[in-house]
Amino acid sequence: MSHERDRDSVVSLRKGLQVLTSFSRQYPRLTITDVARLTGLSAASARRSLLTLYDLGYLHGDGKFFWMSPKTLLVANAFIASRPLPAIAQPLLDALSERTRESASLGQLLDHDAIIVARSTARRSLSIGLGIGSRLPGYCSAIGRVLLSSLPMAEAEAKLLSMDRRALTRNTITDLTQIMDLLERCREVGWAESDEEIEMGVRSMAVPVRDRSGNVVAAMSIAVRAERMSMAEFQRSFIGQLTRAQKTLEASLFPVSAEK
């Protein structure tokens, strides 16, 4: 089967997508050398991909540097418009954010990270800001821990072992055993937390979103500035509202058919 997939794979398309996704907040403008370094492609392959994307209008450039054009938003919009999860979740996140005056997000697992697929911001929590398509590290974010906890234990451990679990703040938990304990606790209580582990001054909680079979398809989170309330106050004040929003989303995504 993998043989057939290799035969049907378009290598040039794969390389082009690698190049396109090498741009980020940290790397908004890239040279051919930069792209080769970030993607592991040869300089010649990076150059061909960059020039193709430039000719198609997905990149702008000045002869040395390349940067994304607005046309790349068509790719993100195609996902948002064609998938029910972000479309249905957005008004629920907006309502949750309006009630709590805090930021609310929905994420799914992508490689080692939680990628944000819907978000509503009443006030900015993280100084870097988050938006649709932003990534949060799976090992130390509340939303990432919920998603990792949904995996079989051996698979979650293997993912954690392959991650670069660096300390982002003095509170970041990086020890494998401690993180595995947190994942087990999430399975037991139904939610996870991150207390100033991604950025000092920011606390977050997340809960799983499940389909009718009980499989976790996403995680919903809420974040608050630490000076507003302690972690215990945060939990008491918002876990109920977060859970109700989660249940509403599940019911909207996976309605139970009426009995005949």
- The full set of domains in the chain, from first to last, is 2-73 (1.10.10.10), 83-253 (3.30.450.40)
Residue 128 confidence (pLDDT): 56
* pLDDT tier for residue 209 given thresholds of 50, 70 and 90: very high
- pLDDT tens, residue by residue, 181-206: 999 999 999 999 999 999 999 999 99
DSSP string, 171-182: T----HHHHHHH
Q: Mind spelling out the 3-state secondary structure of 73-110?
A: HHHHHHHHHHCHHHHHHHHHHHHHHHHHCCEEEEEEEE
pLDDT grade, residue 8 (50/70/90)? low
> Which DSSP state fits 150?
T
The Cβ of residue 3 has, within 10 Å, a number of other Cβ atoms equal to 7
Decide if 84 contacts 194 (C-beta within 8 A).
Answer: no
The runs of H, that is alpha helices, within 101-230 are 142-149, 153-162, 176-189
The answer to whether 146 and 191 have CB atoms below 8 angstroms apart is yes
**What pTM, to 2 d.p., does this model score?**
0.79
Can you read off the two tokens belonging to residue 173? 């938990």
Q: C-alpha 163: how far from its chain's center?
A: 15
> How high is the pLDDT of residue 3?
46
Q: Which tens digit of pLDDT belongs to each residue from 18-59?
A: 999 888 877 889 999 999 999 999 999 999 999 999 999 999
**Cα–Cα–Cα angle for 210, 129, 236, rounded to 5 degrees:** 50
Q: Name the residue among 63, 37, 54, 48 with its Cα closest to residue 15.
A: 48
Cβ neighbours of 16 (radius 10 Å): 19
